[in-house]
Every structure is written in structure tokens, then in C-alpha cells.
Structure 1
Amino acid sequence: MKKIIVLLGIILATTSCLDDKKEDKSNDQKITEPIEESLDFITVAIDGKDFETCEEKDCPRVQVSYLKAENKPAIAEKINSVNENNLIKIFSSPEEEKPSPDNLQDAVKNFVDDYFSFKKEFPESPAEYEAEVSQNIRFRNDSLIVVETSFYLFTGGAHGYGATRYQHFNAKTGEALAQADLISDKTAFTNYAEKKFRKKFNIPMNSPINSTGFFFENNTFTLPENMAFTNDSIHFVYNRYEAASYAEGELQLSLPKSEVKNWVNY
């Protein structure tokens, strides 16, 4: 009888050890399994005072705060490339004959250098340059990322120029999306948007779109260059001079997504 009890004890002990080893092995697998990182965004800052040329001179006020995608290289690189090019364009005048800068840092530096050149040529001028740029994620889900850019530039004259711009990205691939990618039926979408625009800004339906002071090209309503697709609405921004005078400021309009869902892709 004692031999049987001892034998049972040995069997139970051996089984327990085997179970422990299995559990340990399972735990090891859980610990060593790679965890897939999600696409993330950080904020990067550029200040005019950081440039060497500003160490001994009074630098123009320059504050740039922009987004940079991280963690998923294949997607992040596409987003960052398009985003940086969009930011460079803010500092690049279409009239300039010199080539566009290779990166945003150089674009901001050119802005600072232009200020010093201006001051050298017109030392008595009280005009001061100013540049302010900021970005945030306006909307994001599993299929869409919307980056909002707000900026203001002043290089002398009666006033500066500011605007809001939106850039849409495919969240799964990082590809930049144009307006044609977002809207499936532009004609129907535009007709609906015009009705909403006329209602908000008190333009009679039987009158020309410019009858109350707007200046759409060829007196024909057009969609704004900048729209932000969100979860439940589509937000329009007509920046200064796009459809009205500078004094009118930004013109904004929001369309419920539920009312236009048949004409959009996102």
C-alpha cells in the first residue's frame, strides 16, 4: 500500500512539473511575441531664433509647429513627404525664380534670410516679417486621416495673409487623397452644396451666385479648395480671396454627412 502511495506521489509531482514547464513556455511566447505599433504623430517645432543668422541680429517672429508621422515607415514616409511639401509651399512665392527648398528647415531659413535682405535694402522701414504655422489632426479613423494646417504670413504691406488648409490621407496606405478621391458624384454634391451656401449667405436661388457681393469665377458656384471630411460632417473653408474679399475673412459651411453620403467615398 505504501508503495502505491509513493508511486502516485511521484506521478503527480512529475505531471505538475510538466504543466509548469508548459505554462512557462507559454508565458515566454507571450513575452517575446512582437507587438505591432500603430501609426502615431508627434509635433515638431521650428523657431526663427534657432538659426545661426539670428544669434547676433533681431530675427523676425517665426513659429512653426508641424506634425510628423511615426512607427509605420511605409505609411509614415508617404504622409511626411506630402505634408512637408505642402508646408514648403507656404513659404515659397510663385513669383520666385529660385528653386524650391529641399526641406522645411531650409524654407524657413530662406524666409528669415529674405527678411535680413529686406532690412539691408530698406533699413528705415518699420515693417517686420512674421510667420506662424500650426497643425493638428482634424479627423482620424481606420480609413482616413485629415491634417489641418493653419498659417499666417506677413512680409510688409497693408496686411498679411492667413489661411486654413486640409490634406486627406488614406490611413491604410498613407497615400494623399485629392478631392476627386473623396467625392464620387461631384455634380450632385456641388448642386447640393450650392443650395446650402445660398441659404446660409442669403443668396436667392433665382439670382446669380455673385449677386450679393461674392466673386466666384464666371459667376458659377464652385467647391472650395479646402474641405475636411469628418465622422458626421463635411466642413468647407473658403479662404480669403477665394470667393469674397479679404475683409470677409474665411467663409465656412458644414454639410451633414448623412445628407451627402450617396455622393462621397469616405
Structure 2
Amino acid sequence: MKKLFSFSILLLLLVTACKNDTEKKIETSEDSKTSEIKTLQLTTGTIEANQFEICQENDCPKVELKYLVAEGEHSERINQQNEAYLIEIFNSTPDSSSAETLDEAAKKFIKEYFNFKNEFPESPATYEAEVTQEELVKNDSLLTYKTKFYLFTGGAHGYGATRFLNFNPKTGNRLTNAQLFSDETAFTEFAEQKFRVQYEITSESINSKGFFFEDDVYKLPENIAITNDEVILIYNPYEAASYAQGQLELVINKTEVEQFLNY
């Protein structure tokens, strides 16, 4: 009898342990899935001219868009801001885009092309829109997209540029350039000295080598990125120099300016 009782107790303990172990595994699995959902992941979305009905039977301009799509925590807010940002790129075309989605912006671009061809049927000029995005920085405190684009709508030449879009992944909010720095004034002074060395500007005015900073005063560019090792400053054509001078890029070692940065 005692042996039977002892065996029953042992069996009960084994069953309870197995049950608890199974529950723990289920909880761990569910926690893991939840963590995966919350962790921000980036995939690529594409838009091409041949996906639109009008381009099935007509020769359309080249339209190739490859853009980042966030999934996970705060992804909806990030995607909304990024889409608005990409739509804004089309505002450099003759008719500013009033589209609410990137699909609409691409359709409007194609429509503008056909309007142009109807008005100037003999013109050999065509339209072209290329946009590519890539992840430049992704960590707990900073998410940075690098966007390169080129638009051509006739004329002497098209326009291409490189832009950075910075987000706080903890909130999904877009960061301004000012928010990247703990001391923007000190960083600007440091960057100016680097700029002067790179373009061999000594004691002369900042515009003495053909640049056209407003009021002859150096200023930071619109596009700034902070990576693990560098701070990248990009002046796109017409921002600080002529189109012929192309894109100006200033790269600063992060260790030299860490005291001025928030990231």
C-alpha cells in the first residue's frame, strides 16, 4: 500500500511538472512572437510603369520606385511620413503633385508625360523617374533612410539628389536636423572648418570658390546622417553650388564631434 501511494505521488509530480513545462514553452513561444511583431523590420516596396493599365497599350516613361516599408512597432507612422516624403519628390516636376499616395503620384507623373507629348508630339524628349531607398542606420535610438532619386521631364537636364530621412524608432517621429545635435552651433563651426579645408578656402569668404551660401555665411545642408562611425553632410545641386558642380559631400569622423551629437 505504501509503495502504491508513493508511486501515485511521484506520478502526480511528474504530470504537474510536464504541464508546467508545456505552459512555459507556450508562453515563451508567444512572447517570442510578440517580440518579433514589435521589433521594427524593413522590407522593400516597388512601383513600376508597367503595373498601370495605361502602360499596357502605350509607351510610358520610365518609372521605377523602390522604397522601404516598415513593419512592427510605430511602423504605420513611419510609413505615412515616408510616403509623404516620397510624394514630395514629385513636386520638383512642372506640375506639383497633389497626390495622396505614392501610386497616385506615379500615375500623375505618367499623365503629365502624355500631356507633354500631346502638346509637343515632335519632341524626342521623354520623362523618367527613378527612386531607390536603403537602410543606412537602424538601432534602438535612430533609424535613417537614404533616398536617391533622379527625375527628368525634358529640358536641358534632369535633377538627381541624395536625401536622408531620420526617425526616432521609439516613437516613429521624424527627427529634424536640430534634434540630431546637442550643440548645433558648435558642430556648425567645426563643419565649416572641415569644409574650408576640403575645398581649400583659407581666410577668404566662404563663397570665394564659387559657392553661394546665403549672405556669404556657411550653413549645414538639408541632408545629414549620423552612422556608427561618421557624420555625413550632403549638399545637393543648387543647395550650395551650381548644378555643374554636382553633389557636395562632407564626411566627418564621428569621434571628432561626439560631444556635439545626440545620437
Q: Does 1:154 align with 2:152?
A: yes
Distance 1:66 1:156 in 2: 25
Distance 2:130 2:169 in 1: 27
- Match in the other structure for 2:66: 65
- Match in the other structure for 2:85: 86
Query: Does the 8 A contact of 2:97 with 2:108 survive in 1?
Result: no
Report how far residue 15 of structure 1 moved: 3.3
Q: 2:130 aligns with which of 126, 129, 132?
A: 132
Q: RMSD between aligned alpha carbons?
A: 1.9
The one-letter amino acid of 1:42's match is T
TM-score of the superposition, structure 1-length normalised? 0.91
- Match in the other structure for 1:195: 193
The one-letter amino acid of 1:125's match is S
Report the more deviating stretch, 253-262 or 150-159: 253-262
Q: How many residues align?
A: 260
Distance 2:183 2:235 in 1: 21
Distance 2:18 2:51 in 1: 59
- Match in the other structure for 2:237: 240
Distance 1:40 1:183 in 2: 26
Report how far residue 99 of structure 1 moved: 6.7
- Match in the other structure for 1:20: 18
- Match in the other structure for 2:55: 54
Deviations 1:168-195 (A, max 9, x none): 1001000011111112222211110000
- Match in the other structure for 1:215: 212
Report how far residue 23 of structure 1 moved: 3.0
Q: What is the percent sequence identity of the aligned residues?
A: 47
- Match in the other structure for 1:230: 227
Aligned in 2, Cα 1:99/1:91: closer, same or farther, shift over 3 Å?
closer
Higher Rg of the two aligned structures = 1
Q: Does 1:118 align with 2:116?
A: yes
The one-letter amino acid of 1:128's match is T
TM-score of the superposition, structure 2-length normalised? 0.92
3-state SS of 2:34 partner: coil
Report how far residue 31 of structure 1 moved: 4.1
Distance 2:136 2:17 in 1: 52
